[in-house]
């Protein structure tokens, strides 16, 4: 069976099936959730609306497959193969990405040189802070590690640094949840809402270090911490 | 960064062989010796966001060296030139002369001897 033939077959099956309204309902509600999500201001609720929309899309895909009651369809095999490979990458490889970065950047634990940075970050999340040799100011989180460049340590004041560390700590705290979000995005062919996550991380940073510290850090290093 | 294919004869001074930012950094390091990042941005009047990547490249290419200084619970880089201005001038001159002799042979050497006669 070829792919084009299968896609026509999906349309035909949906038309004939008595369960087709269920798929229709799922698609309509996912669009409604998406629209509601766009209108909501609070990043947290906007994110949950978006995730609900993704879940209904996913359910629509699964129930369409279920309606297809025939065996050995290429599209279904392709979709599950795609699911398997992407989850292996997202849940397997990305969790150990910090090991790769430590090697690649030749990063060193910061507790040996500026112990307060490790203590501060360790108090917010179960994370180890590493610093690496580069004048370009940068900070990012991967796995259970926060990476800061020497350039970042040079130009930020302690308060600004705390804001950046809190932002990264939020990512680590939520790293157990974000892979599910990523997986969901991959399964529904939608882009995962990075902006919402960044906003939530910033809100946490403001709670911990104050809005002044965060905005002056952002000002100094304009978009170099993610 | 001192690669013969990047030499730009129509530029001024060091920017014949280095990018303008590289040239400004090297010039300051040769004048001042050891310098902190903040002093470099001040002296060269180049903002940190533009200078940082170039500093990384100069260190990697071996023209500048840096060590980490920890003072009052703050860490910072201290930069120093690896070669003196004369050493870099000698390196560039040798490279260019080699390529001239390589391409033009006897004629190039005859022209060099005119220079030593004038001297
Ligand atoms: Zn972030």
Residue of A nearest to B68 (CA): A150
- Min Cα separation A10/chain B (Å): 53
pLDDT band at A103 (very low <50, low <70, confident <90, very high): very high
Which range, A25-29, A116-120, B48-52, is most confident?
Answer: A116-120
For residue A193, pLDDT over 80 is answered with no
- Convert the pLDDT of each residue in A143-160 to its tens digit: 889 999 999 999 999 999
Looking at residue B92, its pLDDT comes to: 84
Taking CA atoms, A67 is separated from A71, A74, A135, A188, B4, in Å, by 11, 15, 58, 18, 67
Looking at residue A69, its pLDDT comes to: 67
Q: Which residues are placed with Cβ below 5 angstroms of ligand 1, an ion?
A: A 198, 201, 226
Pair type for strands A145-149 and B35-36: unpaired
Percent of chain A beyond pLDDT 70?
Answer: 94
Q: How far is the CA of B39 from the centre of ligand 1 (A)?
A: 30
- Beta carbons of B52 and A113 less than 8 Å apart: no
Q: How far is the CA of A167 from the centre of ligand 1 (A)?
A: 6
- Beta carbons of B52 and A150 less than 8 Å apart: no
Chain B contacts of A156, Cβ < 8 Å? none
Which residues is A129 bridged to in the sheet? A146
Instruction: State the average pLDDT for chain B.
Output: 86
Instruction: State the average pLDDT for chain A.
Output: 85
For residue A133, pLDDT over 70 is answered with yes
Looking at residue A158, its pLDDT comes to: 93
- Min Cα separation A156/chain B (Å): 10
Q: How far apart are the first and last CA of chain A?
A: 46
pLDDT band at A187 (very low <50, low <70, confident <90, very high): confident
Looking at residue B1, its pLDDT comes to: 55
Looking at residue A93, its pLDDT comes to: 74
Percent of chain A beyond pLDDT 90?
Answer: 32
Chain A contacts of B74, Cβ < 8 Å? 153-154
What residues have CB less than 8 Å from A95, skipping those under 6 apart?
Answer: A143, A179
**CATH number of the structural domain A95-222:** 3.30.2010.10
Percent of chain B beyond pLDDT 70?
Answer: 94
For residue B2, pLDDT over 60 is answered with no
Looking at residue A80, its pLDDT comes to: 86
Q: What is the pLDDT averaged over residues A11-18? A: 75
Q: Looking at this predicted complex, what is its ipTM?
A: 0.82
Structure tokens at A61: 């895909």
Chain A contacts of B49, Cβ < 8 Å? 137, 222
Q: Regarding predicted confidence, which is higher, B65 or B108?
A: B65
Residue of A nearest to B58 (CA): A135
DSSP-derived secondary structure for A26-40: HHHHHHHHHHHHHH-
With helix as H, strand as E and coil as C, how does A118-181 read? HHHHHHHCCCEEEEECCCCCCEEEECCEEEEEHHHHHHCCHHHHHHHHHHHHHHHHHCCCHHHH
Looking at residue A78, its pLDDT comes to: 85
Q: Is the dihedral angle over the CA atoms A122, A181, A214, A212 positive or is it negative? A: negative
Residue B80 DSSP SS3: strand
- Convert the pLDDT of each residue in B14-60 to its tens digit: 877 888 889 899 999 999 989 999 899 999 898 888 899 999 999 99
For residue A51, pLDDT over 80 is answered with yes
What's A114's DSSP letter? -
């Amino acid at each position: 069976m070829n792919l084009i033939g299968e896609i026509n077959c999906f349309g035909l099956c949906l038309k004939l099936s008595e369960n087709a309204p269920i798929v229709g309902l799922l698609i309509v509600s996912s669009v409604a959730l998406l629209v509601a999500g766009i209108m909501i201001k609070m990043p947290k609720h906007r994110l949950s609306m978006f995730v609900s929309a993704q879940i209904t899309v996913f359910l629509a895909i699964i129930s369409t497959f279920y309606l297809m009651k025939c065996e050995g369809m290429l599209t279904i095999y392709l979709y599950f193969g795609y699911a398997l490979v992407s989850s292996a990458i997202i849940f397997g490889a990305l969790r150990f990405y910090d090991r790769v970065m430590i090697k690649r950047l030749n990063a060193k634990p910061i507790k040996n040189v500026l112990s307060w940075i490790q203590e501060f970050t360790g108090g917010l999340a179960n994370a180890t802070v590493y610093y690496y040799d580069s004048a370009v100011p940068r900070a990012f989180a991967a796995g259970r590690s926060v990476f800061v460049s020497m350039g970042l340590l040079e130009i930020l004041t302690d308060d600004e640094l705390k804001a950046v560390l809190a932002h990264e700590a939020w990512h680590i705290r939520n790293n157990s949840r974000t892979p599910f979000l990523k997986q969901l995005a991959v399964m529904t062919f939608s882009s995962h809402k990075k902006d919402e996550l960044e906003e939530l991380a910033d809100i946490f940073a403001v709670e911990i270090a104050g809005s002044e510290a965060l905005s002056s850090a952002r000002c100094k290093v304009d978009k170099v911490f993610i | 960064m001192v690669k013969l294919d990047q030499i730009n004869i129509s530029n001024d001074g060091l920017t014949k062989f280095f990018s303008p930012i590289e040239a400004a950094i090297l010039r300051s390091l040769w004048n001042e010796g050891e310098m902190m990042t903040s002093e470099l941005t001040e002296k060269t009047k180049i903002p940190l966001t533009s200078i940082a990547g170039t500093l990384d490249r100069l260190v990697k290419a071996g023209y500048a060296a840096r060590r980490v200084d920890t003072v009052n619970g703050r860490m910072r880089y201290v930069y120093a030139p690896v070669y003196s201005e004369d050493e870099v001038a000698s390196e560039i001159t040798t490279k260019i002369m080699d390529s001239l002799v390589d391409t033009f042979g006897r004629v190039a050497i005859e022209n060099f001897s005119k220079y030593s006669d004038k001297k």
